[in-house]
Amino acid sequence: MIFLKTEDEIELMRAANQLVAATLAEVCKAVQPGVTTAQLDRLAEEFIRDHGAEPTFKGFPNPYGGPFPGSICASVNEIVVHGVPSEEIVLHDGDIISVDCGTLLNGFNGDSCYTFQVGEVSTDVKNLLRTTKESLYKGIETAVAGHRIGDIGYAVQTHCEAQGYGVVREFVGHGIGREMHEDPQVPNYGKRGQGKQIKNGLCIAIEPMITMGTHEVYMMPDKWSIKTRDGKPAAHFEHTIAIHHGKPDILSSFEEIERIEATRGQTIS
Ligand code: MG
Ligand code: MG
């Protein structure tokens, strides 16, 4: 069942998502060679709790194993999503790390993800990041009242596949509100004019997960981390949006992250 949000609820969603944006910016500041993903996780958890919210991911149940131990998913290089923060995983120059973060604030959820560059990454990897991020905005642009969910996936898929990249099928975007995952599912692939109609008050997380090679993935023995079958890198960018006055209203934000990237010469778009 899809829960359309009122104006007041959209503003609560915006607050939760702005906190995610601020948390991701804090993490961005700390991303550098030598840092462990566990350090980034602690920093994020403390920041979220200091702002009166709960890290939604912490303790998230898993049908295949134990609950998620972290407050962020920290997915390095060929890990697509759901990377478990670890003292053993140290960032190196040239790595990329997708940091996905969720907050629960005043009863509503925020959810956003950004793939950060560690030091200087190769041109090939930078192109993957650019295309994935562009595809997120192509998807968002199509999310207007009267269109259908399939239009979003079509926009993401055609943009990424035109560059020869893979679109992960097993994980998708989603409705979001009082629950982190609500109906409808929002795949990053699809056909124009298919799926549920997009209406005012719909809140969804759009999150392209794009690979440099094959779109095939598998689950690691930790029962969380999802890796590309061919070991090539993957990128993941996510915004939570509301359909507001017929148009997409981005509730999360990359503004602060982009400002930090610019100071490091890491601008990707
Ligand atoms: Mg997310
Ligand atoms: Mg999500």
Read off the pLDDT of residues 198-230 as tens digits, 9 standing for 90 and up.
999 999 999 999 999 999 999 999 999 999 999
pLDDT at 242: 98
Q: How far is the CA of 127 from the centre of ligand 1 (A)?
A: 22
Q: How far is the CA of 245 from the centre of ligand 1 (A)?
A: 25
Q: Is the pLDDT reported for residue 149 higher than 90? A: yes
**pTM listed for this prediction:** 0.98
Ligand nearest to the CA of 81: 1
Q: How far is the CA of 233 from the centre of ligand 1 (A)?
A: 18
Mean pLDDT of 43-64: 96
Q: How far is the CA of 173 from the centre of ligand 2 (A)?
A: 6
φ and ψ of 36, to 5 deg: -95, 160
Q: How far is the CA of 113 from the centre of ligand 1 (A)?
A: 5
pLDDT-derived band at 78 (thresholds 50, 70, 90) equals very high
Mean pLDDT of 68-88: 98
pLDDT at 201: 98
Ligand nearest to the CA of 180: 2
Ligand nearest to the CA of 73: 1
Q: Is the pLDDT reported for residue 238 higher than 80? A: yes
CATH superfamily of 7-264: Creatinase/methionine aminopeptidase superfamily (3.90.230.10)
Domain boundaries, the chain: 7-264
Residues with CB under 5 A from ligand 1 (ion): 100, 111, 113, 238
pLDDT at 269: 76
Ligand nearest to the CA of 172: 2
Q: Is the pLDDT reported for residue 250 higher than 80? A: yes
pLDDT-derived band at 55 (thresholds 50, 70, 90) equals very high
Q: How far is the CA of 101 from the centre of ligand 1 (A)?
A: 6
Q: Give the tens place of pLDDT for each residue, 6-44.
A: 999 999 999 999 999 999 999 999 999 999 999 999 999
Ligand nearest to the CA of 175: 2
φ and ψ of 23, to 5 deg: -65, -45
Q: Is the pLDDT reported for residue 117 higher than 90? A: yes
